[in-house]
Amino acid sequence: MEPLFFVVSIIAHRLLTRRASWHSKLAARYIPKVEQARWAIADVASEQRFTRVLDHFRECGYVVISGVLDDEEVESAMFKLWDYLETASRVTSSSSSSSSSLSRDSPSTWTRDSTPWPATVEGGILPYFSSGQSSAAWYIRSNEKIINIFRRFWGVDRVLTSFDGILVWRKSVKTETGWFHIDQNPTRKHSFSTLQGLVNLVPSSKTSGGNVLIETSHKDFPQHYENNPLYSPRLAELNGEDWLEIVSDDPILKRYKKERKIVQLELGKGDVLLWDSRTVHCSNSSTSKLKEGEVDRIERAAVLVSMIPEGRVSEECRKERRAAVDAGRTGSHWVDKVAVLGAEREEEAALERERHEGMKREGENLGVILSFSEMTEQMRELI
């Protein structure tokens, strides 16, 4: 688990120079809920029906489990998410010349010009300020229904969780669009290795934007990327990393478009979206604009989560994961990859340590960031 803020800092300069070559403007086919193959948590629990869930996942490269969290659980998650956002804003204000911080009850404070909103990357992902160890993220991960979904997919009794971050979109701020990529190295991991996931907290719509996936694209992995001159230079510099952007002029994208494989899914509150790390995906931003005089609103919020069988993680890795918790580190979806603590570029590591200390200090009374000693037994078992 490379710390996500580290991964971002290492590749940021590359992305700035290559952005035009891989950000695609291909439109996605919107699929409302009534037209989706959706499954309920009861389908996951049923031996007979779960076979169909797995069949869909293996064929399409993703699956939606609807209404996993109830309204009360979603409300609790959003409350904790706002605790995190407001605390991160106060920490940012204290280290800058700004004298204001955002408030959940005052949308006028959410704009970048007036208030420090926590820094985001790409599709509105919040990788900083120890988001991966926030009570909001852990509230979702430790939910028994979420854990059981991953247990069922892997066919095991015990799983360990990723230290992924969270994502929040405001209507007033456009996020990145068309950043198609895969999250698995085609030269190192040739077959299915893991599934990624998110728990959706705000209903999405055709205009709000959201996750975009390319159905069946996992079936073109790894053969499409290996020995392909479009990808050879990038694969050579990955050095074991798993994040590979899809070149915008790759002919395969036109094929996917012609076959109507590029889809944006409508998600409801409490829905869980799972996808194969080999599946090409990205997110598209909102197509609606905040009108003059209109009050800003949260258009999207979700917690990223992935889990794998406990047996795939070595004892040494688990010790490093335990240390990562108390260090407030945010990770990727790879549960079994932990970078050596302190191996990042020192300036980035130092900045995130300051943020973590600030989050613990400012959010102490609210329990915004959790240390190992503050966790429930359920949470600890996932580490």
Cα 59 to Cα 73, 225, 257, 275, 287, distances in angstroms: 31, 20, 18, 11, 30
What's the confidence (pLDDT) of residue 290? 86
The 3-state secondary structure of 269-332 reads CCCEEEEECCCCEEEECCCCCCCCCCCCCEEEEEEECCEEEHHHCCHHHHHHHHHHHHCCCCCC
Cα 44 to Cα 148, 151, 262, distances in angstroms: 9, 10, 26
What's the confidence (pLDDT) of residue 340? 46
Two structure tokens written together for 306: 């992935």
Secondary structure letter of residue 354 according to DSSP = H
Cα 27 to Cα 104, 209, 213, distances in angstroms: 33, 11, 11
Q: Distance (Å, rounded) from C-alpha 280 to C-alpha 213? A: 6
Please report, for the chain, the start and end positions of each structural domain, with discontinuous segments joined by +.
Answer: 4-381
What's the confidence (pLDDT) of residue 344? 55
What's the confidence (pLDDT) of residue 342? 46
Decide: residue 342, CB within 10 A, 0-12 exposed, 13-18 middle, 19+ buried: exposed
Q: Distance (Å, rounded) from C-alpha 54 to C-alpha 94? A: 49
What's the confidence (pLDDT) of residue 20? 52
Q: Distance (Å, rounded) from C-alpha 200 to C-alpha 274? A: 11
What's the confidence (pLDDT) of residue 251? 95
Other CB atoms within 10 A of residue 241 CB: 18
pTM value?
0.92
CATH topology of domain 4-381: Jelly Rolls (2.60.120)
Q: Which residues of the chain have pLDDT under 70?
A: 1-22, 95-99, 112-115, 123, 339-345
The count of residues in the chain is 383
Contact predicate 305/146, CB 8 Å = yes
Contact predicate 141/134, CB 8 Å = no
b/e burial code for range 163-173 (CB count within 10 A of at least 16 → b): bbbbbbbbbbb
DSSP 357-376: HHHHHHTGGGT-B--GGGS-
HSE on the CB side for 157, CA within 13 Å? 0
What's the confidence (pLDDT) of residue 175? 83
What's the confidence (pLDDT) of residue 366? 93
Q: Distance (Å, rounded) from C-alpha 374 to C-alpha 325? A: 11
Cα 88 to Cα 125, 195, 216, distances in angstroms: 14, 29, 39
What's the confidence (pLDDT) of residue 339? 64
Cα 82 to Cα 39, 163, 292, distances in angstroms: 29, 19, 25
> What is the rounded average pLDDT for all residues in the chain?
90
